[in-house]
């Protein structure tokens, strides 16, 4: 059974829909990053939109792979290119906190998740050419602004979900098409590979973002580089791989990230999608590429949204 989602936000320019990712509930609406405003762009943006339709765009100093709400009103934590810092939405002020120990010209910061309790963030990097295992998985701790390498040898580190109070981390390295389970230890700043939680190698598309859907299930967004009538996000049971539900994004096959949020009329699923890399002839047929979609998601348990404690 599949649910067809509808367009919730339509970008006014192709640039604004180039690579939207990382949706988060924010204030009376939702926010997300557009990692870069075009194939050759060196900057990106944070977008926010209220449920009433009020939209704002904020320009970052580089390409933001993630943004996360903090305990300081109007201030978010973001990862831009190779630096983690704070961005003040009211003043556009950027405050660098730490840089990753990586100087390779093709690696930039990508997806992230907050450790339960808000004391730390785990984030990954990606090879912008999607070609070699140049990327890493990192830990950033708030108290000391310290960055540590948790794992190496990834190509595009994407969706992340914490479980068991933060002692388990589920992580997607997109080209491998698996969700890996890690045992995570904040004190020792280490993780241990605990095997494959979801094997998605039979699919033609690629797992991208991921969110917790409750009861040991996750929703995975799939980025489809091939021509298709719609994109998909799928709810899976971890461990068994059982498919519980599918959501479709009409005329937008490159789904990047999911977000579950509770509204007065029930639980909703938000899905970001991208234009990135789409040939002009395909873009003509994919008029919704780059849009943010919304759909009902009854039966899913949206997790408590953590904030970074500053």
Task: Examine residue 305 and state whether it is found in any structural domain, yes or no.
Answer: no
Task: Examine residue 302 and state whether it is found in any structural domain, yes or no.
Answer: no
Write the pLDDT tens digit of every residue in 84-111: 999 999 999 999 999 999 999 999 999 9
Task: Examine residue 278 and state whether it is found in any structural domain, yes or no.
Answer: yes
pLDDT reported for residue 302? 83
Q: Could you give the count of Cα atoms lying within 13 Å of 266 in the half-sphere of its Cβ?
A: 9
Question: Would you state the torsion angle of the CA atoms of residues 79, 80, 84, 87, taken in this order, to the nearest 10 degrees?
Answer: -90
Range of the domain at 41: 2-296
pLDDT over threshold 90, residue 8: yes
Mention every residue, 6+ apart, whose C-beta is less than 8 A from residue 154: 124, 125, 126, 133, 135, 136, 137, 173
Into how many domains does the chain fold?
1
Write the pLDDT tens digit of every residue in 99-150: 999 999 999 999 999 999 999 999 999 999 999 999 999 999 999 999 999 9
Task: Examine residue 309 and state whether it is found in any structural domain, yes or no.
Answer: no
- What is the domain-level CATH number for residue 81? 2.120.10.30
pLDDT reported for residue 50? 97
pLDDT over threshold 90, residue 204: yes
Task: Examine residue 307 and state whether it is found in any structural domain, yes or no.
Answer: no
Task: Examine residue 310 and state whether it is found in any structural domain, yes or no.
Answer: no
In percent, how much of the chain has pLDDT > 90?
96
């Amino acid at each position: 059974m599949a649910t067809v989602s509808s367009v919730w936000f339509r970008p006014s320019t192709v640039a604004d829909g180039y690579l939207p990712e990382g949706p988060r509930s924010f204030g009376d609406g939702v926010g997300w990053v557009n990692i870069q405003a075009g194939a050759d762009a060196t900057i990106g943006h944070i977008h926010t939109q209220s449920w009433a339709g009020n939209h704002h765009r904020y320009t970052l100093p580089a390409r933001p792979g993630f943004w996360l709400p903090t305990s300081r009103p109007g201030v978010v934590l973001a990862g831009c290119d190779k630096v983690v810092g704070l961005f003040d939405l009211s003043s556009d002020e950027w405050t660098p906190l730490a840089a990753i120990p990586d100087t390779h010209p093709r690696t930039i910061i990508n997806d992230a998740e907050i450790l339960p309790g808000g004391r730390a963030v785990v984030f990954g990097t990606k090879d912008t050419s999607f070609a070699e295992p140049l990327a890493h998985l990192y830990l950033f701790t708030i108290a000391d602004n310290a960055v540590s390498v948790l794992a190496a040898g990834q190509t595009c580190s994407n969706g992340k979900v914490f479980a068991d109070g933060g002692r388990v981390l589920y992580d997607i390295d997109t080209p491998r098409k698996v969700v890996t389970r890690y045992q995570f230890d904040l004190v020792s700043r280490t993780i241990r590979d605990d095997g494959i939680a979801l094997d998605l190698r039979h699919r033609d598309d690629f797992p991208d973002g991921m969110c917790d859907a409750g009861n040991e299930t996750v929703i995975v967004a799939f980025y489809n580089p091939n021509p298709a009538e719609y994109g998909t996000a799928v709810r899976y049971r971890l461990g068994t791989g059982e498919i519980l539900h599918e959501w479709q994004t009409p005329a937008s096959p490159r789904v990047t990230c999911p977000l579950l949020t509770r509204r007065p009329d029930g639980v909703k699923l938000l899905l970001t999608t991208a234009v990135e890399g789409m040939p002009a002839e395909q873009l003509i047929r994919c008029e919704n590429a780059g849009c943010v979609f919304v759909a009902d998601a009854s039966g899913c348990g949206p997790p408590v949204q953590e904030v970074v404690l500053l």
